[in-house]
Amino acid sequence: MQQHSISLEEIADFLNCLFGVERFPATERGGIYLASSRPIKKIGLALESGKQFQEWLSVEELDAIFLHRPWKLETEHIPDEIGIISYHLPFDEYLTIGFNIRLAQVLNIADLKILGEKENRPIGMLGEIFPQSFANLCHCVSQIFGGYEQLIQPINPEITKIAVVGAMTDSLVREAATRGTDVYITGQLRQPAAEALQETKIGAIAIGHHRSEVWGLRALSGILQERWSSLDVVVYPS
């Protein structure tokens, strides 16, 4: 059976639904950044346009690009007929550190609950994991993200509940501790939450925002290939 060609609009519509862009302000929703009618057989995923970006476009012979941060993109240097889609905040909230169901599956978090909200959107999650040491959890996190930036040792030797949150405030840390969290995983450790960490004695792992974005691109690659079996997806080297 002949497969239908894939359009840029089709991919954008799929991502609009996946990210739930209607929950975001109109200026933050993303979508098609540079239109194209070219059938898409190969799409490249990148966080932003870097020094070797133009060379990468040429070498990979792409039909379209997903660009997380398009601010520095010089569209006049993009080869003709290459379409671009861009999502910033929706991508960050759905596929990096936050209420990220795919990440919850990888971390084997059970009984998933929301922790924290921003403009009626969840920004974090907490749930139960298989009992393990903090060292084992750190090893797992390092394998998933390729490392981490900072650690704070928890008082509990056995970790059974973790929180993964796209922000770190005094109130969020205290709420996580009140709800039985042993370790708080986030992008960056924030000074306003330092006192709460000391008083509650829960642990913390700071992944680093860039690492979480790279993981998000890898996850998105898998999602797109699950949706379109004929689509070739490549990720721009970090």
If you write DSSP's letter for every residue of 18-37 in order, what string do you get?
A: HHTGGGS-GGG--EEEE---
Distance in angstroms (rounded) separating the CA atoms of residues 88 and 19: 11
Residue 59 CA from chain centroid, whole number: 26
Q: Give the SS3 label for residue 80.
A: coil
**Domains in the chain with CATH codes:** 8-90+213-232 (3.40.1390.30), 98-206 (3.40.1390.30)
Residue 2 has pLDDT above 60, yes or no: no
| Encoded tokens for 75 | 């569209």
Question: Which of 114, 107, 110, 112 has its CA nearest to residue 138?
Answer: 107
Asked if 49 and 72 count as a contact pair (C-beta separation under 8 A), the reply is yes
Strand bridging mode 124-133 / 183-186: unpaired
152-210: pLDDT as tens digits: 999 999 999 999 999 999 999 999 999 999 999 999 998 889 999 999 999 999 999 99
Q: Give the SS3 label for residue 131.
A: strand
pLDDT of residue 217: 97
Q: Give the SS3 label for residue 198.
A: helix
pLDDT of residue 3: 62
| pTM for this model (two decimals) | 0.93
Q: Give the SS3 label for residue 152.
A: strand
99-116: pLDDT as tens digits: 999 999 999 999 999 999
201-232: pLDDT as tens digits: 999 999 999 999 999 999 999 999 999 999 99
Q: Give the largest CA-CA distance in the chain.
A: 63
Q: Residues in the chain, how many?
A: 238
Distance in angstroms (rounded) separating the CA atoms of residues 19 and 24: 10
34-55: pLDDT as tens digits: 999 999 999 999 999 877 888 8
